[in-house]
Amino acid sequence: METIIFIDTGNPLKVKFVVKNGVIAVAYTINLYHEKSNTPIATYKGDNKDPNDDTFLLPVPTDENGKLVIELIADFRGVDLALSKQFNMGFEVYQGNILLKYIYKEGSLEAVDQSVTLYAQLLMSQLLKQFA
């Protein structure tokens, strides 16, 4: 599982669903879990029709996000395989306006329903915390 380091005293965290390559139709769910739980504490759903509604604010205060797990489940289909034979999609995590990490999957588009599941865990920066 990928890890994303953040500053617990910093700006709020945001997660954003993105498609960086591929002419595709996507429906997705982003779930937030406590580290050792199977029950999501928050769920965000969307599609890629309007990229302006694909950013979600994570819980505040920011220090409560330590060890949270982000899960992305995206179901998609290639719309025009003549234009696009590859995809690149995932989620970006920001602290304020600073991109912390892009978690993504790349692959070949097919004329069938496809699915991607990605995970990342949020971890507080212990080094920066010592100097705060």
CATH of the domain at 50: 2.60.60
Total domains in the chain come to 1
Q: What percent of the chain has pLDDT over 90?
A: 71
**Do 18 and 24 meet the contact criterion of CB atoms below 8 Å apart?**
no
pLDDT in tens, 4-44: 999 987 799 999 999 999 889 999 999 999 988 999 999 99
Burial of residue 85 (number of CB atoms within 10 Å: 0-12, 13-18, 19+)? middle
**Is the pLDDT assigned to residue 108 strictly greater than 90?**
yes
- Give the residue numbers spanning the domain of 94: 2-131
pTM, 2 dp: 0.90
Mean pLDDT over each residue of the chain, to the nearest integer = 91
Please, how many CA atoms are within 13 Å of residue 49, restricted to the half-sphere of its CB? 4
